[in-house]
């Protein structure tokens, strides 16, 4: 730093110093006087430079701060994206692990089934080899297979006619051999045939056709909401037959006026009856259905009947009766039960619902046991 000028020591013996000369404003380009003016001239650019340097340092610090702040924000966003990607990766890894476990379980099941199929195939090959040795054994094995299949169809699908055909074919095959050893088997088959013939018959095809007919009539059934008022009936005029020879008398004016009054009052009463109709409806909301709601009511009734048809074919009695009950309730609630078509549909549904689907099917255990016992003999 520049040293400050020192004042000369005051000596009382010395003569007083002359006053400093008056300094005029410096003219640009003029030489400056030596002494304090030179120091001021030197200090001004340094001060300006320091100020400029301070401003530059402040701008640099502000820019650096902003850059660091932006870097931190970018880093935070990158970390958030990385965490989201990690979470998604972890979720995908867990889902992949679960799918891998499921696939592994399915592969294990398929391997077990393949092993079972191979074992069954080996057993069948061995069975075929054994059956080729003896014709009777082959015939009994075939009968056993047919009876086993018929028993499964009887228990799963209640196919009584198929089971009867299988038993009759088995009995016919045994009758061709004409061997007394097969008498016990034929007796067991005869007992099973009698059991199946004694079962109550259930016409599934006929019931399904009735349901189809009811489904086809749904669009034509009248709703309570679309009922139109009846047309006024033609007035009935009563005429009095008078004898041709009788001459009109003044006393007959009263009955004539009475007849005219009766005719006029009857016509007025019929007109009034057509203006006002009083009906009792248990479900008032059925009268307020819009066209769209009427369409959905008909479609829901069709769906109920279709579900009942599917339950009938699968012998699901609970679903069958539940759907029919819901269909009958819809008919009674939204449709005009006074119409002949609605009454016919209700009668069809009642007739269909009266059928009993829960028929306990017998097994063909007697015939199968007799065949297996005969094969087990040495």
What would the pLDDT profile of 97-154 be if each residue is shown by its tens digit?
888 888 888 899 888 888 988 888 888 887 766 655 566 777 777 888 888 888 887 7
**One domain, residues 175 and 295:** no
**One domain, residues 339 and 215:** yes
318 lies in a domain? yes
User: In this predicted structure, what is the pLDDT of residue 201?
Assistant: 67
Does residue 22 have a pLDDT over 50? no
User: In this predicted structure, what is the pLDDT of residue 128?
Assistant: 64
Distance CA 160, CA 23 (A): 140
Range of weakest confidence among 49-53, 239-243, 255-259, 275-279? 239-243
Q: Which two tokens stand for residue 105?
A: 């379980």
118 lies in a domain? no
**One domain, residues 338 and 366:** no
- How many domains does the chain divide into? 2
User: In this predicted structure, what is the pLDDT of residue 29?
Assistant: 44
Name the most confidently modeled range: 23-27, 263-267, 349-353.
349-353
Mean pLDDT of 265-283: 66
11 lies in a domain? no
Does residue 176 have a pLDDT over 60? yes
User: In this predicted structure, what is the pLDDT of residue 185?
Assistant: 85
Percent of the chain with pLDDT over 90: 6
Name the most confidently modeled range: 17-26, 60-69, 169-178.
60-69
**One domain, residues 171 and 296:** no
User: In this predicted structure, what is the pLDDT of residue 312?
Assistant: 82
> Average per-residue pLDDT in the chain?
75
**One domain, residues 338 and 318:** yes
66 lies in a domain? no
Percent of the chain with pLDDT over 70: 71
Does residue 219 have a pLDDT over 80? yes
- Find the CATH number of the domain harbouring 168: 1.20.120
User: In this predicted structure, what is the pLDDT of residue 306?
Assistant: 92
User: In this predicted structure, what is the pLDDT of residue 184?
Assistant: 85
Q: Which residue has the higher pLDDT, 281 or 122?
A: 122
pLDDT bucket at 305, cuts 50 / 70 / 90: very high
9 lies in a domain? no
73-105 pLDDT per residue, tens:
989 888 898 888 888 888 888 888 888 888 888
**One domain, residues 137 and 191:** yes
User: In this predicted structure, what is the pLDDT of residue 62?
Assistant: 92
**One domain, residues 293 and 185:** no
Q: Which residue has the higher pLDDT, 238 or 365?
A: 365
Does residue 182 have a pLDDT over 60? yes
Tokens 């080729």, residue located:
132
Q: What residue numbers bound the domain in which 163 lies?
A: 133-200+361-376
**One domain, residues 187 and 320:** no
**One domain, residues 295 and 347:** yes
Q: Is residue 328 a contact partner of residue 346, using CB atoms and an 8 Å limit? A: yes
Mean pLDDT of 211-240: 67
Does residue 215 have a pLDDT over 80? yes
Does residue 8 have a pLDDT over 70? no
Q: Which residues of 111-128 are buried (b: 16+ CB within 10 A; e: fewer)?
A: eeeeeeeeeeeeeeeeee
**One domain, residues 341 and 323:** yes
Does residue 27 have a pLDDT over 70? no
Q: Which residue has the higher pLDDT, 357 or 320?
A: 320
Q: Is residue 376 a contact partner of residue 185, using CB atoms and an 8 Å limit? A: no
321 lies in a domain? yes
Q: Which residue has the higher pLDDT, 104 or 201?
A: 104
Q: Which residue has the higher pLDDT, 197 or 87?
A: 87
**One domain, residues 214 and 185:** no
**One domain, residues 340 and 309:** yes
243 lies in a domain? no
User: In this predicted structure, what is the pLDDT of residue 240?
Assistant: 45
20 lies in a domain? no
């Amino acid at each position: 730093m520049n040293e400050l000028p020192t004042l000369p020591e005051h000596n009382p013996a010395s003569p007083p110093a002359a006053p400093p000369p008056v300094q005029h404003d410096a003219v640009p380009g003029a030489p400056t006087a030596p002494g304090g003016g030179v120091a001021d001239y030197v200090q001004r650019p340094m001060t300006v430079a320091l100020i400029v340097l301070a401003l530059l340092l402040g701008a640099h610090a502000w820019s650096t701060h902003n850059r660091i702040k932006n870097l931190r924000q970018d880093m935070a966003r990158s970390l958030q994206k990385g965490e989201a990607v990690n979470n998604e990766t972890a979720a995908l890894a867990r889902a992949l692990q679960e799918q891998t476990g499921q696939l592994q379980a399915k592969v294990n099941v398929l391997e077990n089934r393949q092993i079972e199929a191979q074992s069954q195939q080996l057993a069948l090959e061995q069975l075929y080899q054994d059956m080729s040795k003896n014709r009777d054994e082959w015939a009994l094995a075939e009968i056993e297979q047919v009876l086993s299949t018929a028993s499964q169809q009887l228990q799963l699908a209640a196919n009584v006619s198929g089971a009867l055909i299988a038993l009759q074919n088995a009995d016919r095959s045994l009758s061709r051999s004409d061997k007394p050893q097969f008498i016990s088997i034929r007796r067991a088959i005869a007992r099973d045939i009698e059991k199946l013939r004694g079962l109550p018959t259930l016409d599934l095809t006929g019931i399904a056709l009735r349901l189809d007919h009811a489904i086809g009539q749904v669009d034509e059934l009248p709703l309570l909401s679309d009922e139109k008022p009846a047309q006024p009936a033609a007035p009935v005029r009563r005429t009095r037959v008078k004898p041709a020879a009788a001459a009109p008398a003044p006393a007959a004016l009263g009955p004539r006026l009475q007849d005219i009054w009766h005719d006029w009052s009857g016509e007025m009463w019929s007109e009034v009856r057509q203006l006002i109709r009083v009906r009792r409806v248990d479900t008032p909301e059925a009268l307020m259905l819009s066209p769209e709601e009427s369409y959905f009511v008909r479609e829901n009734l069709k769906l109920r009947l279709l579900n009942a048809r599917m339950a009938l074919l699968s012998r699901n009695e609970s679903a069958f009766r539940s759907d029919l009950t819901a269909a009958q309730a819809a008919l009674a609630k939204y449709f005009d039960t006074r119409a002949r078509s609605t009454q016919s549909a209700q009668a069809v549904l009642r007739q269909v619902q009266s059928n009993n689907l829960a028929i306990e099917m017998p097994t063909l255990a007697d015939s199968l046991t007799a065949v297996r016992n005969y094969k087990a003999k040495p």
